Amino acid sequence: MKIGIVGYKGRMGKEIRDLFEEKSHEFVWGYDKDGEYFQKNPQIIIDFSLPEVFEKTEEYVKKFNVPLIIGTTGLQEEQIEALKALAKEVPVVQSYNFSIGIQLFLKMVDILKDKIDGWDVEIVETHHRFKKDKPSGTAKMIKESLNKDVPISSLRLGNVAGDHVLYMANLGEVLSISHRALSRRAFAEGVLKSAKFVINKKNGYFTFTDVI
């Protein structure tokens, strides 16, 4: 695959580029705060940047007429709606977390959510000091899976790639589910899996759950 990356100089952008090149794919286009890098037209665009860059990403996806994988967190509702409209023209994979472990976490939440009525439930998420949005998109996904109003505590510490813990307690016991990303490679692997999934599709709006 010939890939393009929005935010290619960022932490996640570099991780994605390294993994794709390791697997013999080619980085041919990029967009970052310093401008555009162009070698040739990409076959797919991957965006792990910031919400304020979204319109630029949309512009380039339409220009190249290619699939989009977007993991940007902190998107506004109107940006999600714009993604769904874009998906009528090209295939889009959108997720706030591209790790397989988080997908398994959400499966467990789905099993438990109807069995913890009357329990105290809270979510704690921890990320590196450079992450700008609070709470994390993944914490919001967990909350949505629970289908109830649950407090979320957010910590920004050091260089933590991503920790999420769901606590559930009654007066006699505490149950917790936790997930720790040891490196950003866990997310990059999910992006690669998504690229293989979406590269030959004509259009459609997909999540990482659909991919796996």
The residues that bridge with 70 in the sheet, in sequence order, are: 47, 94
Amino acid at residue number 187: F
Closest CA to 194 of 211, 182, 170, 207: 211
Residue-wise pLDDT for 122-163, tens only, equals 999 999 999 988 999 999 999 999 999 999 999 999 999 999
CATH number of the domain residue 192 falls in:
3.40.50.720
31 is in an annotated binding site: no
Closest CA to 131 of 161, 108, 153: 161
Question: And the tokens for 51?
Answer: 């919400």
CATH number of the domain residue 118 falls in:
3.30.360.10
190 and 137, same domain (yes or no): no
171 and 197, same domain (yes or no): no
Domain range enclosing 127: 100-180
70 and 53, same domain (yes or no): yes
Residue-wise pLDDT for 152-164, tens only, equals 999 999 999 999 9
The pTM assigned to this predicted structure is 0.84
148 and 50, same domain (yes or no): no
Q: How far is CA 35 from CA 42, 61, 112, 150, in A?
A: 16, 16, 47, 40
**DSSP class of 56:** H
Residue-wise pLDDT for 89-127, tens only, equals 999 999 999 999 999 999 999 999 999 999 999 999 999
Catalytic entry in 131, 143, 164, 179: 131
91 and 27, same domain (yes or no): yes
166 and 196, same domain (yes or no): no
131 is catalytic: yes
130 and 164, same domain (yes or no): yes
How many CB atoms sit inside 10 A of residue 83's CB? 21
12 is in an annotated binding site: yes
96 is in an annotated binding site: yes
66 pLDDT higher than 90? yes
204 is in an annotated binding site: no
Closest CA to 72 of 59, 60, 85, 58: 58
190 and 167, same domain (yes or no): no
129 is in an annotated binding site: no
25 is catalytic: no
26 and 80, same domain (yes or no): yes
Closest CA to 176 of 127, 112, 81, 85: 112
104 and 92, same domain (yes or no): no
The domain tally of the chain equals 2
91 and 105, same domain (yes or no): no
Find the mean pLDDT for residues 156-180: 97
Catalytic entry in 62, 84, 127, 143: 127
200 is in an annotated binding site: no
13 and 76, same domain (yes or no): yes
